[in-house]
Amino acid sequence: MTKQDFAYDARQALVANAFTRKGYSFVGWNTKKDGSGKAYKNKQEVVNLTSKDGSVVTLYAQWKKNAASIPSVKVIAHSQNLGWCDAISIGSVYGTTQKSLRLEAVRISVPNSRYSGGVEYRSHVQNAGLEKTWTR
């Protein structure tokens, strides 16, 4: 960004932030790098950033790390005698309980994802227990 000049004792708005930082959101300006100084909002109107006419003030961009977004995962299972069941959300019990029906197939997808890669899973197999390796 370019230098911005201010006339002493005159009200003027700070220029809009033009910086970007991947994975972060701009939250404002500060007179200290660590954010412990005087804070200013983007495009805030100010009068006299310093108490001395002719002084130079440096404002530092302040950033907030964006929260990681968790992709939506769609799971559909095929149960013995019931066929394909409705999709469920992650963390839900899938298949049947207390009916002694086998889970015969699973479809796992990440619809409309902006992420690359895949889904890894492992299953509990009747008379064998939890699979030791993950399947992709």
Using CA atoms, how far apart are residues 11 and 8, in angstroms rounded to an integer?
9
Report pLDDT digits (tens) over 38-95.
Answer: 999 999 999 998 888 888 999 999 999 998 777 778 888 888 888 888 877 666 666 6
- Token pair of 7, please? 């006339």
- Is 39:29 a contact under the CB 8 Å cutoff? yes
Is the pLDDT confidence value at 104 over 90?
A: no
Contacts of 15 (CB under 8 A, 6+ apart): 1, 2, 4, 43
Q: Please name the residue that has the structure tokens 């015969």.
A: 104
Q: What is the pTM of this model?
A: 0.54
**Residue 88 vs residues 20, 74, 106, 107: alpha-carbon distances, Å:** 38, 7, 12, 11
